[in-house]
Structure 1
């Protein structure tokens, strides 16, 4: 569906904008709810729990352990496209950007969400939301731009372990910066 030529130009930008807006909404919601949870224990407790949780997700990402994570395991319905070339893709992106409406292919958002809720400042929450939305947009846009025949997916699977390693190190570095 996203490979269609009608997705080029304005619809693709609306979709990416929707992903960023959806991710921002989720990050700000997590920040607000987390501000209540933060009262239950000192920051050191949350830091220890997050580091342990990151360790669990890291070994899961590399296949050492296997367990499912909660997610809405269905795609956003095509009925959102009844809203036209701008608002349809915007709504589709908004729903995908929340990370709550469709598949999440990595475990890292499951560490990011509690990190935002339990440790982030409002600015850090905004940065996390924008980063998540842009990351999802980058994956979709890259697939659209560089592949009409699934070769992008095949290339990605060839380097999946290296990509996961880079993402884990980058995520751990960002998490460490937020915690320090």
Structure 2
């Protein structure tokens, strides 16, 4: 039952990201202002991470975070899926600006990402559904 619900939500997320399902996501669609990081780098980074991670103030364009939240909630009460999701989210957030910087041409990197972003979000939701098939019992 839980596995089926996780797969259903992940597939709905994939359909939404592919533009096949007009579905509004629950969110507080306000960007975190840049001055949060300018005031004090360490405290600003902590505030930014807290607000982004908890959804207090952020704009989420992809459906995968919602699908993964459902998967974590329905995974059976183990801390493992929540820890894996948190580590994956953190690694992804850190890897994106690092790769952009390492590319040597941030503007070109942004352009290439924009072309691939829609497909990447769909693949993320499909991977969540596939993982649910193998993890949730």
If the TM-score is normalised by the length of the shorter chain, which range does it land in?
0.7 to 0.9
* Alpha-carbon separation, structure 1, partners of 2:65 and 2:27: 11
Question: How much does 1:167 deviate?
Answer: 2.5
* 1-structure distance, mates of 2:90, 2:54: 8
- The two structures, once aligned, show a CA RMSD in angstroms of 2.5
Mapping of 1:133-172 within 5 angstroms? 133-146=90-103, 149-172=106-129
Pairwise mapping of residues 113-152 of structure 1 onto structure 2 (< 5 A)?
113-120=69-76, 121-146=78-103, 149-152=106-109
**In structure 2, what is the Cα distance between the partners aligned to 1:124 and 1:162?**
24
* Larger gyration radius, structure 1 or structure 2: 1
Q: In the alignment, is the contact (CA less than 8 A) between 2:67 and 2:125 conserved in 1? A: no
Q: Which runs of 5+ in 1 are unaligned?
A: 1-43
Could you tell me how far 1:83 is from its partner in structure 2?
Answer: 5.0
Corresponding residue of 1:27: none
Q: Cα distance 1:94–1:141, how it changes in 2: closer, same or farther (>3 A)?
A: farther
User: 1:85 maps to what in 2?
Assistant: 41
**How far does the alpha carbon of each residue in 1:60-109 deviate from its partner, in whole angstroms, 9 at most, with x for none?**
11111222101111111345336522222232123223344201121011
Q: Does the Cα contact within 8 Å between 1:50 and 1:111 map onto a contact in 2?
A: yes
Aligned length: 136
- Secondary structure, aligned partner of 2:25: coil
Runs of 4+ in 1 over 6 A off after TM superposition: none
